[in-house]
Amino acid sequence: MDRAPIDWRDFPLPILLPELVITPTHAQIFMFSAVTWNRHHIHYSRDAAVAEGLPDVVVHRALIGNFFMRVLTNWLGDMGDVKTLAWKVQSSAVPNRKLFCQGVVTEHEPGAKEDGLVCELTIANDTGETVATARATICIRDIS
């Protein structure tokens, strides 16, 4: 049976993406430092982090970006690609505290050759404080 191609511009917006809830651990933060060769002591030494006015070791900016990307790719699966992702960290995230990563498709990307969509994303901690915000553009492949 032939189906008409899916036109993502016909989908009503906004589209809520499934939430990702993650609890970073000391081990995850340490291992992320090791894998990325990040030697900044605030990511592995609680004493050093506290001396700099932080409550504990802190989650890397790049690991925050990884969480945003996971929200997008968990939803997209193999039906599309992330074209751009830019984020800003507003407050520190620390180990053993849940992070709630949320996203919403807000608009169709103007002038996109492919089916471009704009996503707004946020990460909040377990007290509701915003940790980071992001904006992404994604494209959807024709999966018909």
pLDDT digits (tens, 9 = 90+) for 108-122: 876 656 668 899 999
To 5 degrees, how large is the angle CA 125–CA 98–CA 17? 75
Per-residue pLDDT at 111: 65
With respect to residue 132, please indicate whether it lies within any of the assigned structural domains: yes
Per-residue pLDDT at 112: 59
Mean pLDDT of 57-85: 94
pLDDT digits (tens, 9 = 90+) for 83-96: 999 999 999 999 99
Domain span at 14: 10-24+59-140
With respect to residue 4, please indicate whether it lies within any of the assigned structural domains: no
With respect to residue 33, please indicate whether it lies within any of the assigned structural domains: no
With respect to residue 87, please indicate whether it lies within any of the assigned structural domains: yes
φ, ψ at 26 (rounded to 5°): -55, -40
With respect to residue 5, please indicate whether it lies within any of the assigned structural domains: no
Instruction: Kindly report whether the peptide bond that precedes residue 24 is cis, defined as omega within 30 degrees of 0.
Output: no
Residue predicted with more confidence, 95 or 5? 95
Worst-scoring range by mean pLDDT, 10-14, 62-66, 69-73, 102-106? 10-14
Q: How many domains does the chain have?
A: 1
Per-residue pLDDT at 110: 67
With respect to residue 77, please indicate whether it lies within any of the assigned structural domains: yes
With respect to residue 80, please indicate whether it lies within any of the assigned structural domains: yes
CATH code (residue 19): 3.10.129.10
Per-residue pLDDT at 44: 81
Q: Regarding beta strands 15-16 and 20-22, do their DSSP bridges make them parallel or antiparallel, or are they unpaired?
A: unpaired
- Give me 129's structure tokens: 């404080």
Give the predicted TM-score (pTM) of the model: 0.88
pLDDT digits (tens, 9 = 90+) for 10-63: 778 899 999 999 999 999 988 988 888 878 878 888 889 899 998 899 999 999
With respect to residue 124, please indicate whether it lies within any of the assigned structural domains: yes
Are 7 and 115 in contact by the 8 Å Cβ rule? The answer is yes
pLDDT higher than 60, residue 76: yes
Per-residue pLDDT at 42: 84
